[in-house]
Amino acid sequence: MSIVVAAMLATTAVPAAAAQSAKSASAATFSINKARIDRALAQMVSSGRIAGAEALIYKGGREVYFGSAGFADREAKRLIRRDTLFQIFSMTKPVTGVALMQLWEDKRFGLDDPLFKYLPEYAQTKVFAGMDASGKPILKAPDRPILVRDILRHTAGFSYGPGDTYPEKIFAQVEPLNLNEDLSAFSRKNATVPLQFEPGTQWRYSVAVDVQAALIEKLTGTTLEQYVRSHILDPLGMKETGWTQPAERYARLATPYEVVDGKLVRQPEAAIKRMNFSGAKLTMGGAGLVSSIDDYMRFARMLLGKGSYNGVRLLKPSTVKLMATDHLDARVTERQWLGSKGSGGFGFDFFVRTAQPQTAAENRGALGEFFWDGAMTTLFWIDPANDLAAVFLVQKQPFDGTLHHDFREAVYGPSYLGPKGD
């Protein structure tokens, strides 16, 4: 699988087991049960679902769980260690979102500004409105322009790789996410791809966060990687996180695995090399970061701390709350696979839980949590109601949502529903 397609599929949902009614008595509270989480990770490995995984949980301002199981490289018998590095794919997106919202706090743009005010190429972007009688595409000007808030909540209408629709076919021809071109070229190409729908009317996972990255570069006059390094990674002490990595760290990378004919197999070395962004000209806003579990937990704890970590403030508390608030209008009923993530909606680069779990098959979680995950089945979430942040790292494709279900159940217990909404 190419890196672009992998990034495109960063959070494609896997149908859950048949939903069953959660009629059993639900728990209003829970406690971290280390043995239960250890068993869950060990079972994932022993059953052959993964080669290895590790997890880290902070609650109440302290580390309450760290555990690992299995291998970073199964064939080489290299165990997962706390300093193992993981390709986190779409868990890059919240990092880019924080960077853009820092610029919003600096009054560099407005959320309801037309995108073309800063990236003029989008002034000419058309909407696909179907095929005419002769089989030619009908392209029209959008009813309203793409707004900056649309690229933060995936309502712009962009595509995310090859597919069956006319815009996706054009996307495949144009190749905006060509790793040999920079973000400026990406944005110009992407603007020529017709939109899938009128801006603001549907939710569809897309290259919107890569457009955020292009906007960051345009507003700052520096590269995305330089801006993120100086304004997020360095201030948080995330010393081993980046789009580029020195060669001496490669031996610590977890090996990616994929399911082929029902069995977990190591990806070929050629595929592994293609996944390395260090040699790419394109710095994607939606993928590409390599990180360790402690590094990414620093980022998660900053969000849990309402924009502050270890005395360093990256965002105002009100900005974090804005990002972690559902911004999807009730009329946005077409939401692709978002509903499979749980009972909730979408904020700025985060899924946001707006109701208790409705069935036993739904992932455990608390009202008000926000999170995102990645193509290699990585996951993190912020649970303000329980003052908890969790990071779960694994390297498995295709995306396997059942692992998230089982890990969350191990953290919360099977009956936890959390606080009720209004």
Last residue of a domain, one of 187, 220, 253: 220
**Residue pLDDT, tens place only, 216-246:** 999 999 999 999 999 999 999 999 999 998 8
Cβ–Cβ contacts within 10 Å for residue 384, how many?
18
- Name the 3-class secondary structure at 123: helix
| Domain residue limits at 40 | 3-100+224-412
Is residue 177 domain-shared with residue 210, that is, in the same domain? yes
Give the angle 273-11-26 at the CA atoms, nearest 5°. 135
Residue 22 lies in a domain: yes
Is residue 232 domain-shared with residue 209, that is, in the same domain? no
Decide if pLDDT at 273 tops 80.
no
Is residue 341 domain-shared with residue 197, that is, in the same domain? no
Pairing verdict, β 379-383 and 86-87: unpaired
Is residue 138 domain-shared with residue 253, that is, in the same domain? no
Closest by CA to 210, choosing from 152, 133, 257, is 152
Last residue of a domain, one of 160, 190, 220: 220
Average pLDDT taken over every residue of the chain:
92
CA 6 distance to own-chain centroid: 12
**Directed axis angle between helix 34-46 and helix 401-412, to 10°?**
160
**Residue pLDDT, tens place only, 277-321:** 566 899 999 999 999 999 999 999 999 999 999 999 999 999 999
**Main-chain dihedrals φ then ψ at residue 242, nearest 5 degrees:** 175, 165
Pairing verdict, β 257-260 and 396-397: parallel
Instruction: Average the pLDDT over 398-414 and give the result.
Output: 97
Tokens at 271, concatenated: 């595929």
- Read off the pTM: 0.93
Is residue 74 domain-shared with residue 124, that is, in the same domain? no
Decide if pLDDT at 17 tops 70.
no
Is residue 192 domain-shared with residue 232, that is, in the same domain? no
User: Among 10-14, 56-60, 176-180, whose mean pLDDT is lowest?
Assistant: 10-14
Residue 113 lies in a domain: no
Instruction: Average the pLDDT over 5-19 and give the result.
Output: 44
User: Could you give the percent of the chain with pLDDT greater than 70?
Assistant: 91
User: Among 27-36, 48-57, 407-416, whose mean pLDDT is lowest?
Assistant: 27-36
Taking the C-alpha atoms of residue 165 and residue 159, their distance in angstroms, rounded to an integer, is 9
Q: Which helix (H) or strand (E) holds 219?
A: helix 208-220
Is residue 238 domain-shared with residue 320, that is, in the same domain? yes
* Cis preceding-peptide flag for 398 (omega within 30 of 0): yes
* Residue that the structure tokens 């293609």 belong to: 274
Residue 77 or 275, more confident:
77
Q: Which helix (H) or strand (E) holds 179?
A: none
Last residue of a domain, one of 201, 220, 239: 220
Is residue 244 domain-shared with residue 281, that is, in the same domain? yes
Taking the C-alpha atoms of residue 58 and residue 6, their distance in angstroms, rounded to an integer, is 29
Residue 114 lies in a domain: no
Question: Please, are residues 147 and 126 in contact by the beta-carbon 8 Å criterion?
Answer: no
Taking the C-alpha atoms of residue 309 and residue 237, their distance in angstroms, rounded to an integer, is 10
Is residue 273 domain-shared with residue 403, that is, in the same domain? yes
pLDDT band at 16 (very low <50, low <70, confident <90, very high): very low
Residue 110 lies in a domain: no
Is residue 395 domain-shared with residue 284, that is, in the same domain? yes
Residue 421 lies in a domain: no
Tokens at 31, concatenated: 């406690």
Predicted pLDDT at 13: 46
Predicted pLDDT at 122: 98
Give the chain's domain count: 2
Decide if pLDDT at 250 tops 60.
yes
Is residue 140 domain-shared with residue 179, that is, in the same domain? yes
Question: Please, are residues 146 and 199 in contact by the beta-carbon 8 Å criterion?
Answer: yes
Is residue 165 domain-shared with residue 68, that is, in the same domain? no
Output the domain CATH number for residue 238: 3.40.710.10
- Name the 3-class secondary structure at 383: strand
Taking the C-alpha atoms of residue 380 and residue 391, their distance in angstroms, rounded to an integer, is 4
Tokens at 186, concatenated: 């990406």
Predicted pLDDT at 260: 94
Q: Which amino acid is at 160?
A: Y
Residue 108 lies in a domain: no
Residue 154 lies in a domain: yes
Question: Please, are residues 337 and 348 in contact by the beta-carbon 8 Å criterion?
Answer: no
The sign of the CA dihedral 188, 189, 190, 192 is positive
